[in-house]
Chains A and B, each alone.
Chain A
Amino acid sequence: MTHPFLSIRNLRKAFGAIVAVHDVTLDIPRGEFLTFLGPSGSGKSTTLYAIAGFQDPSSGDVLLEEKSLLAVPSHKRNIGMVFQRYTLFPHLTVAENVAFPLRVRRRSDAEVKKKVADMLALVRLESFAGRLPGALSGGQQQRVALARALAYDPPILLMDEPLSALDKKLREEIQGEIRRIHRETGVTILYVTHDQEEALHLSDRIALFKDGRIEQTGTGEDLYLRPATDFVAGFIGNSNFLAAEHLDTINGTATIRMTDGSVISGVRPNGTFGKGQKTRLMIRPEAFSMERSPASAELNVEIVDIAFYGERRRIVARIAAGQEVDIRPTSAAMQSQGVSPCSRQVFFDPATAFLFPA
């Protein structure tokens, strides 16, 4: 078996009584774009800083090509990093900023000059070479920071919420740039964000953090279609959680009773449940359809409101117990026919619905 490129083993970091990272283990292949996603305070930055060498872990190890990085000081790790805050050197021009890591490595003038030009071309800021950071917009500053972090061809690039200070439109634009740069350079990227859309858009794989642990690691599709826990289901995409009683599970599919007494079979249990155990059924808003199909299960709802969102419609409905259900049907037929407020049935494929403990 080939060894992983970068490996985080049982990483733990405590600040006094506060445990920022409990136990993180992760293997990252060369060239991967992996995102640490999770709510604020879940230990993403602390893990990243342990890789960069700014935090000494309380225990555990970080291995690059099977060699531990822990004894290597930050400045000798040869890792690239883009920070959440703007960190360009304020007294140096854009070109001098990008040249800095090459100058400290005592590269020749000719090489520095060429590399700086290449890097500024990579982030498309050639014409800004002579400017001071103060004369750049936030988005431009982060692109220069990216150029500076890549100038010495580091094997790993760490990015800690680099776009969080930018507005949505600019953020999407630079996300595109980051994807392109990842494609063109093949650098391994560890990216931190709390924004699930950003994570889904950028990453090959996502490690979802919760309370200093990784809840699930997988592609965006894995996390969306096969969430390991209700936390993952709730964090990635939109989801409805409806109370249900577990009746029994046969051959990996479960039968449940909803609060209005209707029985649904064929849902996917996440864990093992006893008879009569209280559970929660997770259904994605997009999983609903307004028409019955052979395999579908049904849910009795009262339509409360219908809003038009351009590409799709969003229906707010209510089940008998009073809980609201978010429905975003994808069916084209429904778009043309329209739905009027009334009591009716909506349909979903039980194989896309997951059962979680209550």
Chain B
Amino acid sequence: MLLDYDRMGGLRVALLGFTALVAGFLLLPVVFIVLLSFGSSRWLAFPPPGWTLKWYQELFADPAWLDAALTSARIATMTAILAVAIGLLASFALVRGRFAGREILRGLLLTPMVLPIVVFAIAIYAFFLRLGLGGTTIGFVIAHTVLALPFAIIPIATALEGFDKSIEDAAIVCGASPLEARLRITLPSIRIGIFSAAIFSFLASWDEVVVAIFMASPSLQTLPVKIWGSLRSDLSPVIAAASSLLVGLTLALMLVTALLQRKFRT
């Protein structure tokens, strides 16, 4: 290969430094937000004059914040369930199916990953207004499921591709109906893919803000929407606390996935 890491010599140090710089540049704002959420300054001064948990107390005392967090969790959970269910069926069709238009279907299902999000948001907003789904939980879940589908399909399809179909055939010769063989043998065998799909789709909804802004109503707001809204009215450290929680849950879920994947590989 042209760019072989082992043969780059001095360039290696430069590459390492550059990577660290980019990673730092991307991560630093997050680190600042978390630090500020524990800082005692009302004006988000840095470095903070002292440390406190009062912004978190304020956050948990405000039912609007709690409500937004619960809404986010509820929508993300429903999105994850729906995306995994559809993702499973789609993966079987994409991996096992031999039909005309399979590649087109694959492209279509993965489009939300590359489509400019704001275009999708406007389109679905206009469409849902007509259907009366704007500002409803169900509308939220449908929109987020479309966005989450690629993140559900990719790990499930990958796991299914790595699963030897002969094993399913063996279960069928053993007397299991094709459905039973898939439920009792194939699904447990690709469970790590299904689990990753669930977490990734949950997260795709959990931290999604653009579509959520279009879908939200005053009575139905997810956490990112609430953060966005509060940001425009007043710049309080409570927002930093809410953001930290958002980041915290995301990190925790990613960590769990990584650990599980490592455990399954050995």
Q: Give the interface residue-count category, chain B.
A: 20 to 34
Stretch with Cβ within 8 A of B (4 or more), from A99-107, A188-196, A268-276, A288-296: A99-107
A83: chain B residues within 8 A (beta carbon) = 166, 169-170
Report B-chain residues with C-beta under 8 Å of the C-beta of A105.
Answer: 175
B160 shortest CB reach to chain A, Å: 14
- Decide if the interface of chain B is mainly helix, strand, loop or mixed: helix
Residues of A within 8 A of B173 (CB): 52, 74-75, 77, 79-81, 149
Size class of the contact patch on chain A: 20 to 34
Kindly list chain B residues whose C-beta atoms are within 8 Å of the C-beta of A152: 174-175
Q: Which of A43-92 contact B (CB under 8 A)?
A: 52, 54, 73-81, 83-91
Q: How far is the CA of A105 from the CA of B169 in the complex (A)?
A: 17
Task: Indicate if the CB atoms of B178 and A91 lie closer than 8 Å.
Answer: no
Q: Are A85 and B175 in contact (CB under 8 A)?
A: no
B164 / chain A contacts, CB cutoff of 8 Å: 85-87
Chain A residues with Cβ under 8 A from B189's Cβ? 89-91
Instruction: Output the nearest chain A residue to B178 by Cβ-Cβ distance.
Output: A75
Min CB distance A67 to B, Å, is 18
The answer, among A52, A54, A78, A100, for a CB contact under 8 Å with B171, is A100
Let me know if A148 is at the binding interface, CB within 8 A: yes
Q: Is B142 an interface residue (CB 8 A)?
A: no
**In contact, B167 and A89 (Cβ under 8 angstroms):** yes
B180 touches A104 (CB 8 A): yes
- Hey, which chain A residues are within 8 Å of B188, CB to CB? 89, 91
Main secondary structure of the interface of A (DSSP, over half): loop
Q: Is the CB of B167 within 8 A of A104?
A: no
**A101-B175, A152-B175 known; A90+B167 contact, CB < 8 A:** yes
B175, A78: Cβ atoms under 8 Å? yes
The winner among A88, A91, A105, A148 for most chain B CB atoms within 10 A is: A91
Interface string of B68-106 (1 = CB under 8 A from A): 000000000000000000000000000000000000000
Q: Is B176 interfacial (CB 8 A cutoff)? A: yes
Closest partner residue, chain A, to B181 (CB atom): A75
State whether B185 touches A89 (Cβ < 8 A). yes
Give chain B nearest CB distance to A276 CB in angstroms: 55
Extra contacts, 6 of them, besides A78-B175, A104-B184 (Cβ < 8 A), are A75-B175, A76-B175, A86-B164, A87-B169, A88-B170, A104-B174
The interface of chain A, by Cβ under 8 A from chain B, is 52, 54, 73-81, 83-91, 100-101, 104-105, 145, 148-149, 152
Q: List 22 A-B contacts (CB under 8 A).
A: A52-B173, A74-B173, A75-B172, A75-B175, A75-B176, A76-B175, A79-B173, A81-B170, A81-B173, A83-B170, A85-B164, A88-B170, A89-B167, A90-B167, A100-B176, A101-B175, A104-B174, A104-B175, A104-B176, A104-B184, A149-B173, A152-B174
